[in-house]
Amino acid sequence: MNIQKGSIVRALAGRDKGGFFVVLATDGSFALIADGKRRQVQHPKRKKLIHLAPTDTVYGGSLETNPQIRKAIREFNGG
């Protein structure tokens, strides 16, 4: 499983199951994820890597604001 900063991932477990997120950072077996709406950059969700499914997409742009994160995952959430 190759999850790195900027990866677009799908949650496999928890109340956010099925949602798409951007990885802001990784720390051992955990990742900090945000979607720019319910989970914002200021308060990212700490989630185990085994509960995340990576997509083949790594966002190369800036991920510092919530609108940038929403733009990164827009195509995965149906446009």
Domain count, the chain: 1
Q: Containing domain of residue 53, as a range?
A: 7-77
The enclosing domain of 71 has a CATH number of: 2.30.30
What does the pLDDT look like over 9-62, one tens digit per residue?
999 999 999 999 999 999 999 999 999 999 999 999 999 999 999 999 998 888
Structure-token match 């499914």, residue found: 53
pTM of the model: 0.91
Under 8 Å between Cβ of 71 and 57? no
Q: Tell which residue, 68, 51, 59, has the closest CA to residue 23.
A: 59
Residue 57 resides in a domain: yes
Residue 42 resides in a domain: yes
Q: In 10 A of CB 21, how many CB atoms?
A: 27
Residue 2 resides in a domain: no
